[in-house]
Chain A
């Protein structure tokens, strides 16, 4: 019984971390159709923002929830203005340019911070379920993932901003005719996606070591989740995270963490063979 509970918490945690890791990408790729291969590096910047803020004596929670998203959001605005903006509609070129950006960011951070692992210790300690102990931070991750999903849904469906953003993505010229500047909407959307990636990096900083190359560990997982999710941003994100997170965690439980990751990626590839449009291309059609 205790074991079942622990496994349940672990599975929820795996699903939640996939949601968090992929949310920023879901906004940038799902809405703007921009393949952002620098997604992992945005997360890395978020993690470094947390470390930098902690060194300046900022409270950990403020560093994670405020400093990291804002810092990476600003970087996102700058990069969108300088590079991404010139490549809208040219998917392959965006992919290459963002990969260039990812190398560039890794290079810059390595030059500044060195190639050593910095760490943040996980707050909140741990609590026990029967004979097992579970880190309290795990529950924070789960809670944040739920809050994030609700927030995305709220913003996209209930606010003026979300309506404008969705409308612009569907028909930019029509939105333009109605007096909305698509280029500003793109810019803001990209910044929001970048901020979400920064938040993810900040949140995961206490769990993984912080190194300039840490982004590579997340980019494939995030992409596979978003692509496996299909056209609907939120339903796809949640569906794919649930499926892949559960597979990952259960395989990890039976074998090793490495084989767990392999199981996730293989499952994703098999799924894309069966459902090339992703989960929401076939099921949950037309949802958000």
Chain B
């Protein structure tokens, strides 16, 4: 199978698995577990947003939580003011996207390198954290929504069916919405990456100079990628606020932004499915650590991050993929002679070579 066919097969498989999970899980799981799965899905959307801008855009954003938190707060403030959730839901995507566009403009048009970029995004997250954290007094309110400072905003009205304020989504409906969002985001990004725009984004990551020489303004594509990542993180934030009907400044915190990076590193940079795997694993691990007193969760997470950077820099999913490929090649002697496929370079399959003159002969006759 060449790379192209492989990508379509994996997309079809993930779509099938996704749809099966979407409709299967609510029937199998009890309500409590379903709510747990919903939060994993919310966090997976967040993980995918970073996986996209970092793994495909080459933009290391240490402050993805800035957009996540902005989404949550935008939704909370919007829904408390308007009552109906449709417009706030959309705003929770648009506002973080605009914020990402503004920040991205400063970064990409200032031509700051990715290292500086990491520090700036980290700083922005801290600014937002400090700002929101200091809004505890009753004088801090937007419309009828008090910001609540370090106490956060409790009792956020959850999503309702568009136009029908009284018809609030049940936990099961929220699972459907969240999981469908995850599927849509995942598949949408796969389509985008396969498209021309996506190819330019990836090319800009690989070699910005060369992309410029080919006549593409790499800054525009990076900005687009970053903005989209911000929008997706905002969507995750909105769903997060819905999941717990609560949001607080810790959503902007360093601990949260560290976690997203760990998901991506553990799952595998440069894939979209890896961060979902990493997210679920790490979230599960964190909740397990929370139930015992021996280890601090920071200790374990920090250790995992160091070990993965040093020993498994490609992450779980690509490493597993390699292992499977290797096993496959050992089992199939005919493929043993084939050289291992280099990433990004299209390879002509040995079977395809003799087919060529055959085809021309047929055309000639």
Contact = CB atoms under 8 A, between A and B. Distances in A.
Interface string A91-104: 11101110111111
Task: Classify the secondary structure of A's interface with B.
Answer: helix
Interface stretch (B65-73, B112-120, B174-182): B112-120
A102 B110 CA distance: 29
Interface in B115-132: 115-116, 118-120, 122-124, 126-127, 130-131
Task: Classify the secondary structure of B's interface with A.
Answer: helix
Given A95-B118, A258-B134, A108 B112 contact: no
Q: How large is the interface on B (under 10, 10 to 19, 20 to 34, 35 or more residues)?
A: 35 or more
B317 interface: no
B198 interface: no
Contacts of A107: 295-303
A261 B112 CA distance: 22
B106 interface: yes
Contacts of B303: 100, 104, 107
B87 interface: no
B297 A227 contact: no
B117 to A, nearest CB: 10
A235 interface: no
Contacts of A120: none
Contact of B302 (A105, A216, A220): A105
> Could you say which of A92, A100, A262 has the most chain B C-beta atoms within 10 Å of its C-beta?
A100
B347 interface: no
B119 A256 contact: no
Given A92-B60, A107-B299, A83 B306 contact: yes
A265 interface: yes
A52 interface: no
Nearest to B254: A216
B305 A97 contact: yes
A96 B130 contact: no
Interface stretch (A129-137, A178-186, A269-277): A269-277
A35 B120 CA distance: 13
B47 to A, nearest CB: 15
B258 interface: yes
A108 B301 CA distance: 11
A92 B115 contact: yes
B348 interface: no
A111 B295 contact: yes
Contacts of B133: 258
A100 B134 contact: no
B111 interface: yes
A269 B120 CA distance: 7
Contacts of A104: 298-299, 302-303, 306
Contacts of A99: 62, 258, 261, 302, 305
Given A99-B261, A272-B112, A106 B306 contact: no
A42 interface: no
B265 interface: yes
A174 interface: no
B126 A86 contact: no
Interface string B46-64: 0000000000000010100
Interface in B207-242: none
Contacts of A272: 106, 110, 112, 116, 120
B50 to A, nearest CB: 13
B331 interface: no
B324 interface: no
Given A99-B258, A220-B123, A265-B123, A92 B114 contact: yes
Nearest to B304: A100
A124 interface: no
Given A95-B118, A111-B299, A220-B119, 14 more contacts: A87-B309, A92-B115, A106-B299, A107-B298, A107-B303, A110-B298, A110-B299, A216-B126, A258-B130, A258-B133, A262-B131, A265-B123, A269-B123, A272-B116
Interface of A: 35, 83, 86-87, 91-93, 95-97, 99-108, 110-111, 216, 219-220, 223-224, 227, 256, 258, 261-262, 265-266, 268-270, 272-274, 276
6 contacts: A87-B309, A96-B309, A97-B310, A99-B261, A227-B119, A269-B106
Lowest 4 CB-CB distances: which A-B pairs, in order?
A107-B299, A103-B302, A100-B305, A104-B302
